Amino acid sequence: MDFVTTNYIWAITAFMSGAGLIFLTIRQKVSGPRLSPAQATQLINREDAQVIDVRDQAEWSKGHINGARHIPAGEIPKRLGELEKFRQRPLIVVCASGQRSASACSALRKAGFEKVFALDGGIGAWEQAGLPLTKK
């Protein structure tokens, strides 16, 4: 106990580090598998994956992945019927940074979609990889 009181900064740092790791592990379990932009491109090309962009309208208008379907994250439960025809195909869920896609992936899994992936790093990672966006 003397060590902890003498080195409280190290103890707090260790606690925060452990809490962060636990949080990331839980988030990974909830959102499911994450794909890099390169892996997402392969899945799109090889297995005809459908991209679901869950960003809001203003973000979507600035640019999105070609062929993506726009369904804001909050509307996923109400608009599941639109995705029914993609049930057998892999779904890649995209947001701005990879945070909102986790809840959308969870909602899709609860609705019975099995092949659901989140784009790790979101549209930002897609752009950093030099991959194209469209405004059409």
Q: Which of 51, 60, 57 is nearest to 104 (CA)?
A: 51
**What is the DSSP code string of 54-110?**
-S-HHHHHH-B-TT-EE--GGGTTTTHHHHGGGTTS-EEEE-SSSSHHHHHHHHHHH
Q: Which residues are catalytic?
A: 95
Through-space distance between the first and last CA atoms of the chain, rounded to whole angstroms: 62
